[in-house]
């Protein structure tokens, strides 16, 4: 019998009893960025992983989905599972049409393996450039992967730090697939929203028709969650960034919880509060419907009613 690996030191577990959001999500809302971790006993973590999380399996994800009033999930392969997509695929299958997946694959993946992932509900691959999460991101390998997934109509999800965008954007612009960026390209929210870093990101988004997840205020925020009990307006320093993206690109924004919130160090967000962040970043019913329903449905469930 194999022994289970202990969690990374100081690992923060996901929030066990999230509050009920005050904001009622529109029917058909898609949580377009979340993960599953294991459970480790069933789906061991990858040997090359950079962290060992707590378990956060599909049943717990579906419980959160129902608690928040979410209709569907897009489950993004987490780096702790490397290129073994079995936990993610198992979760997508178990959701019975209410989830799609984003995989991590190696350049030698075969057409048959890609078709099997597609049949299971996978609609894209993730390219990760965050150095604390992956050893290397060789561009030739990623080009090969992008060429292989393009005929399936898949897209590539990009995760990078904002300071690395100038070096990466030429490569991104040449990829033959739609691009989706995680967490607004991780802006430094202490810089002005109309400063050079975020303006460069917005130009990149505009020039390449990029989709943007206005997710992870808890990861980007410097001011953090509300100090006062009962106050439900959290992460206010991230609001101008997300609001600007929603206003400039209303038809290409997506939202997600990022549950079970890997690698947070200061606090674990109350997922109910993350939902209550939404009306601050998407201020009209129309913006919210696009962000939460119409955009993710078009990308992940095209042609289906919502
Ligand atoms: C996120 C963010 C992180 C981790 C991962 O796959 C992952 O391990 O995505 C992070 O540590 O910033 O989107 O969940």
Residue 260: cis peptide before it, omega within 30 degrees of 0: yes
Q: Identify the active-site residue in 258, 270, 271, 276.
A: 258
Does the Cβ of 78 fall within 6 Å of ligand 1? yes
As a whole-number percent, the residues of the chain with pLDDT over 90 amount to 93
Total structural domains in the chain? 1
Give the rounded distance of the alpha carbon of 3 from its chain centre: 30
The model's pLDDT over 30-85, given as tens digits with 9 standing for 90+, comes to 999 999 999 999 999 999 999 999 999 999 999 999 999 999 999 999 999 999 99
pLDDT band at 228 (very low <50, low <70, confident <90, very high): low
Mutate to test the pocket of ligand 1, among 10, 162, 216, 263 (most ligand atoms within 8 A of CB): 263
How many helical (H) and strand (E) elements, i.e. helices and strands, does the chain have?
A: 12, 8
* Mean confidence (pLDDT) of the chain: 96
Q: Which helix (H) or strand (E) holds 90?
A: helix 86-94
- What 3-state DSSP class applies to 253? strand
Q: Judge whether 7 lies within some domain.
A: no
CATH code, 189: 3.20.20.140
pLDDT of residue 293: 98
For ligand 1, say whether the CB of 79 is within 6 Å of any of its atoms.
yes
Mean per-residue pLDDT for 212-224? 96
pTM: 0.97
19 CA → ligand 1 middle, Å: 23
pLDDT confidence of 306, banded at 50, 70, 90?
confident
* H-state helical runs in 129-195: 139-149, 165-174
The residue range of the domain holding 57 is: 30-300
Mean pLDDT of the 291-298 span: 98
Q: What is the pLDDT of residue 33?
A: 98
Residue 234 has pLDDT above 90, yes or no: no
Q: Please tell me if the CB atom of residue 262 comes closer than 6 angstroms to any atom of ligand 1.
A: yes
User: Looking at residue 136, what is its pLDDT?
Assistant: 84
| Mean pLDDT of the 215-242 span | 86
Give the pLDDT of residue 7.
98
Strand partners, 181: 158, 212
Q: How far is the CA of 157 from the centre of ligand 1 (A)?
A: 12
Task: Report, as an integer, the average pLDDT of 247-252.
Answer: 98
Is 11 a member of any domain? no
pLDDT at 219 over 60: yes
Does residue 19 fall inside a structural domain? no
Q: Is residue 188 part of a domain?
A: yes
Is 4 within the bounds of a domain?
A: no
Span from the CA of 285 to the centroid of ligand 1 (angstroms): 30
90 catalytic? Reply is: no
pLDDT, residue 263, reads 98
Query: What phi, psi does 155 have (nearest 5°)?
Result: -120, 175
In a domain, 283, yes or no: yes
- Residue 18 included in any domain: no
Ligand 1 neighbourhood includes 263 CB (under 6 angstroms): yes
pLDDT for res 190: 97
**Integer Cα distance of 151 and 149 in angstroms:** 6
Q: How far is the CA of 262 from the centre of ligand 1 (A)?
A: 6
Sheet holding 253-254, edge to edge: 30-34, 72-76, 99-103, 122-128, 155-159, 179-181, 211-213, 253-254
Output the CA angle 289-293-298, nearest 5 degrees. Answer: 120
pLDDT digits (tens, 9 = 90+) for 137-165: 899 999 999 999 999 999 999 999 999 99
Give yes or no for a contact between 164 and 129, defined as CB atoms under 8 angstroms apart.
yes
- Each residue of 4-22: pLDDT tens digit? 999 999 999 999 999 999 9
Q: Which atom of ligand 1 is nearest to the CA of 78?
A: 6
């Amino acid at each position: 019998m194999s022994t289970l690996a202990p969690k990374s030191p100081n690992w923060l577990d996901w929030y066990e009893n999230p509050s009920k959001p005050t904001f009622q999500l529109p029917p058909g809302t898609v949580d377009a960025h979340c993960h599953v971790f294991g459970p480790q006993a069933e789906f061991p973590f990858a040997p090359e992983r950079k962290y060992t999380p707590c378990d956060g399996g599909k049943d717990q994800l579906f419980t959160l989905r129902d608690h928040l009033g979410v209709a569907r999930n897009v489950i993004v392969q987490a780096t702790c599972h490397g290129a073994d997509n079995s936990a993610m695929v198992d979760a997508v299958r178990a959701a019975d049409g209410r989830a799609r997946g984003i995989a991590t694959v190696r350049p030698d993946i075969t057409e048959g393996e890609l078709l099997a992932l597609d049949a299971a509900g996978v609609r894209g691959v993730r390219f990760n450039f965050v150095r604390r999460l992956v050893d290397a991101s060789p561009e030739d390998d990623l080009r090969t992967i992008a060429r292989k997934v393009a005929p399936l109509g898949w897209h590539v999800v990009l995760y990078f730090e904002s300071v690395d965008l100038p070096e990466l954007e030429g490569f991104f612009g040449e990829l033959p697939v739609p691009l989706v960026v995680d967490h607004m390209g991780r802006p430094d929210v202490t810089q002005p929203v109309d400063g050079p870093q975020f303006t460069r990101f917005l130009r990149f988004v505009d020039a390449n028709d990029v989709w943007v997840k206005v997710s992870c205020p808890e990861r980007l925020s410097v001011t953090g969650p509300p100090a006062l009990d009962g106050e439900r307006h959290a992460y206010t320093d991230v609001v101008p960034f997300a609001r600007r993206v929603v206003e400039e690109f209303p038809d290409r924004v997506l939202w997600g919880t990022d549950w079970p919130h890997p690698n947070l160090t200061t606090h674990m967000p109350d997922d109910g509060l993350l939902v209550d962040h939404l009306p601050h970043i998407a201020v009209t019913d129309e913006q919210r419907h696009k962000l939460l329903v119409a955009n993710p449905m078009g990308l992940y469930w095209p042609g289906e009613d919502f």
